[in-house]
Amino acid sequence: MKTVFKIYDQKGISLLEIMVGILILATGFLGVAKLQSQALKGVQWAQYRTTAILLAQSFIESIPFDELDNHHGTSNGVKFDIDNIEYLVTTHVVPLGTVSQKSVEINVAYRNQSVRIETLRFP
């Protein structure tokens, strides 16, 4: 014996279906907003790091080889304020095997982060 279910013609949608649809859309919009927030934080972090790297590179290139003798050891640091972010640049110069070879390390600290660039300098 077959059981027959009558299906009535439904016209329109119910309130429950609308609420479920709104819930799904709201969850999707919250996910997109969270992704946008994370992307903005990543862009800001990259901007700070790029500024620190450029600052370190320009600082290391600005020291003539003749003046490296005046920079032996670690410097107290130079502070720069760029876009309301404070960057502290410290140098560390160590003579290597011969007098003419020197290891130069530049450290740039900013917002509990730091970037370190090290190079060897020859006359």
Structure tokens at 78: 């130079």
Measure the CA–CA gap between 118 and 121, rounded to whole angstroms.
Answer: 10
Domain containing 53 — which CATH number?
3.30.1300
Place of tokens 């600290």: 109
8 A C-beta contact, residue 43 and residue 36: no
Dump pLDDT digits (tens) for 56-106: 888 888 877 666 666 666 677 888 888 888 999 988 888 787 767 888 888
Domain membership flag for residue 52:
yes
Domain membership flag for residue 34:
yes
3-state DSSP assignment of residue 51: helix
Domain membership flag for residue 2:
no
pTM for the model? 0.68
Domain membership flag for residue 5:
no
pLDDT of residue 16 exceeding 70:
yes
Phi, psi of 60 (to 5 degrees): -70, -30
Can you tell me the mean pLDDT for 108-118?
90
Number of structural domains in the chain? 1
The parent domain of residue 67 ranges over: 15-121
Count of helix runs (H) and strand runs (E) in the chain: 1, 5
